[in-house]
Structure 1
Amino acid sequence: MSDIEIRPARFESPEVQKVVAEALADLSQRYGGSGDDTPVTMSDFDPPDGAFFVAVRDGTLVGSGGWRRHGSDAELKRMFTTPAARGLGVARRMLATIEESARVAGCGRMILETGYLQPEAIALYESAGYRRIADFGHYAGEDGVRSYARDL
């Protein structure tokens, strides 16, 4: 795992947008449509109200994720690990980095939306101490939505 570096990145950078497009394509294969219609702007992850990170292995982006402020909470968005890097612990390290960033920024809780067709994501979040909460955000009330939170 030491050959994978987690580092801050600008959400609007072309290399980040390439991995985000891969994440959305993965979601599209699972759910159809665009993969995620949640409104996200390029500035959502700008400090102090957010942050975005990438995982890099051998000069290639193999993961991404960030948080944006949602009231007093931080909302986890665009969490993704490329197929080639799955099973290496990238997502767990990314999640810990994102949580620490949000905690330092004064957020008391991390919230997220995922879906029933992402069992690996659900398993990660539950093993990291996340618990189901009432659905919120863009997909509140939709079948298959799974919303979670964890105190930071």
Structure 2
Amino acid sequence: MTDSIIVAALDSPEAAPLVAALGGEYATRYADYDGFPKQEGEPEEIDLFPPLVFEAPTGTLLLVRRDGETIAGGGFMYLDDETAEIKRVWTSPDHRRQGLSRTVMTALEDAAAARGYRRIYLSTGPRQPEAVGLYLSLGYTALFDLDADPEAIAHLAFEKELGEAGGRAAAKAAAQRAAVAEAHRWHQPPPVRLADLTGR
């Protein structure tokens, strides 16, 4: 049993189990919940954000694959220049309680930090207490009153400074720049660049 983490498109065959399962789970958990007001014609939440927003350079979708099967995943998209928003975190019901959500979250945080994001924002629904527990255990700060009735709040939002992960990415970037500078002592950088020709 070997797990691998791959980058995939949200509309790829590999991501189809994640999309289908999330749509079904949201529909089941929130079938009789009216705390999410919707405008007429507004798409379902699962359809609201197109695959494009989960692609590089500002987003990504990561899937955990085991023996050719997608068993967990999640993605992030651009929220602002310093903040990625994590969405679509999911683990197959047959593979829960194996630490896969933690694996996905760690991989997403590292990928976001590598893209230059400094913080993560995410939200979950009031009928997903396991998600609330996961995010709190990973160091996220609740942006709502944890003692209040979650059904009255509806969107349970969290945020986390990437700090250490961002620091690792910054340290690696500095080491990369230093290595390139050292190499340029022996192999000169390109003498002419496009900006030199265009005056930009």
TM-score (norm: length of structure 2): 0.67
Are 2:120 and 1:120 aligned?
A: no
Residue 46 of structure 1: CA displacement?
A: 1.1
Aligned partner of 2:116 in structure 1 is 106
Q: How many angstroms apart in 2 are the aligned matches of 1:127 and 1:19?
A: 23
**1:56 alignment partner, one of 65, 86, 106:** 65
**Structure 1: gaps (5+ residues):** 135-141
1:73 and 1:109 in contact (8 A); partners too: yes
Q: How many angstroms apart in 2 are the aligned matches of 1:27 and 1:3?
A: 29
The alignment's C-alpha RMSD in Å is 2.0
Given residue 118 of structure 2, which amino acid in structure 1 is its aligned partner? G
**1:129 alignment partner, one of 127, 139, 147:** 139
Are 2:39 and 1:40 aligned?
A: no
Q: How many angstroms apart in 2 are the aligned matches of 1:38 and 1:59?
A: 26
**2:87 alignment partner, one of 77, 82, 98:** 77
Q: RCO higher in 1 or 2 (8 Å CA, sep ≥ 6)? A: 1
Aligned partner of 1:11 in structure 2 is 10
Larger Rg, first or second structure (1 or 2): 2
Q: How many angstroms apart in 2 are the aligned matches of 1:97 and 1:61?
A: 16
Q: How many angstroms apart in 2 are the aligned matches of 1:45 and 1:147?
A: 20
Aligned partner of 1:139 in structure 2 is none
Structure number having the greater strand percentage: 1
Aligned partner of 1:137 in structure 2 is none
Query: How many pairs are equivalent?
Result: 144
